[in-house]
Homo-oligomer: A and B are copies of this chain.
Amino acid sequence: EALLAAPVELKARLSANENPFGPSSKARQAIDDSLNTCYQYPMQARDLVQQIAEYEGLKPEHILLDAGSSPLLLAAAMHFGQQGAIITGDPSYADLPRKAERFKAAIVAVPLTKDYKLDLDAMEKKVDSHTALVYICNPNNPTGTVLDSAKLKAFTKRISEKTPVFIDEAYIDYLPDPRSATLIEAVKQGQNVIVARTFSKVYGFAGLRVGYIVAQPEMIQTLSRYAQGAMSISAPAIRAAVASYQDQEFMKNVVAKTQFSKQYLYDVLKREGYEYIPSAANFVMFPLKMDGKRFVEEMGKRGVSIRNWEFGGKQWCRVSIGRMEEMEAFAAAFLQVS
């Protein structure tokens, strides 16, 4: 038999922008409480819809739940992908455009500005009669940059009169004031805007799969055709989401701990003579001084998983923000590899 090398122990999982501080103890308790009835189909989704609707000042028919926001991105990809071109940033979260390409969509990828933000002016110029959807990830993944709120709102108001705008707000809960930054207000004003939210980040639910979109009721109806909806969410996850939604104390705590770890990472990078893109989210992108693929491999050998990108003629690394012991493991490996 072949002698196999012992697998590397993973010390820091910093590749998927997960939140290692969650889910809250209330969510865990709710999962535990749900075990006796989890032989039943998940019927409690309406409680969660009701809670979100009340918190946001929406009607339940504005909301579509599913097992994370990903199946809803797929629904949008299927619907709009068959209708024309999708305008997105470059680089930006590629999930929706990539899925839309399966349905023959043309993708118009607009380079970021010099400060690594989505270039709204350039994106607006690309809107024409072939545009089926404009996709905005805010804060943007993988750069961690956030758009000026007033500028985004004005952009969305103008554009949504011509073509639907999809705002992916997966990381918005890491902002100091998510409620002033969200585009849910635009939906309430009747604009043709679809806002995607997820419990996978601040709520710590990446493994529990709960997300939703908010849009005009007719758009919700249209996209519902392509999605299984709330019946895809496990009953324990629905109960956990109900239990942790609006737990402001827990969320503040997650954001504060993330901020602490992020500042530590900034300091490590500065000390080693690296620049970075200041991040509004739970991940940081910085330019490498070596090949990205090799960097990922070398870090992986040291038990640290991260991701690399290439854009603007440079090699980049994206590090998710973990617990302090994970950031220290990153720092130790980075000192060896950088």
Contacts and interface: CB of A to CB of B under 8 A. Distances in A.
Interface in A86-115: 102-103
Contact of A209 (B32, B35, B232): B232
Q: How many copies does the complex hold?
A: 2
Given A232-B209, A234-B208, A234-B237, A39 B67 contact: no
Contacts of A207: 34, 37-42, 234-236
Contact of A39 (B40, B78, B204, B225): B204
A331 interface: no
A228 interface: yes
A232 B35 contact: no
Interface residues of A, number: 46
A213 interface: no
Interface string A30-53: 011011011111100000000000
B225 A102 contact: yes
Given A67-B67, A207-B234, A209-B233, A35 B39 contact: no
A136 interface: no
B16 A41 contact: yes
Contacts of A205: 38-39
Nearest to A77: B225
Nearest to A21: B39
A99 B139 CA distance: 35
A18 interface: yes
A206 B238 CA distance: 14
A324 interface: no
Given A28-B35, A39-B18, A209 B234 contact: yes
Interface string A192-215: 000000001000111111000000
A68 interface: yes
A164 interface: no
Interface string A114-155: 000000000000000000000000000000000000000000
A303 interface: no
A206 B39 CA distance: 5
A38 B210 CA distance: 12
A186 to B, nearest CB: 27
Nearest to A225: B102
A287 interface: no
A70 B231 contact: yes
- Point out which of A18, A37, A200, A228 has the most chain B C-beta atoms below 10 A from its C-beta: A228
A156 B26 CA distance: 50
A34 B227 CA distance: 27
B40 A13 contact: yes
A205 B234 CA distance: 9
Given A20-B39, A40-B16, A32 B32 contact: yes
5 contacts: A67-B232, A74-B227, A78-B226, A233-B234, A234-B236
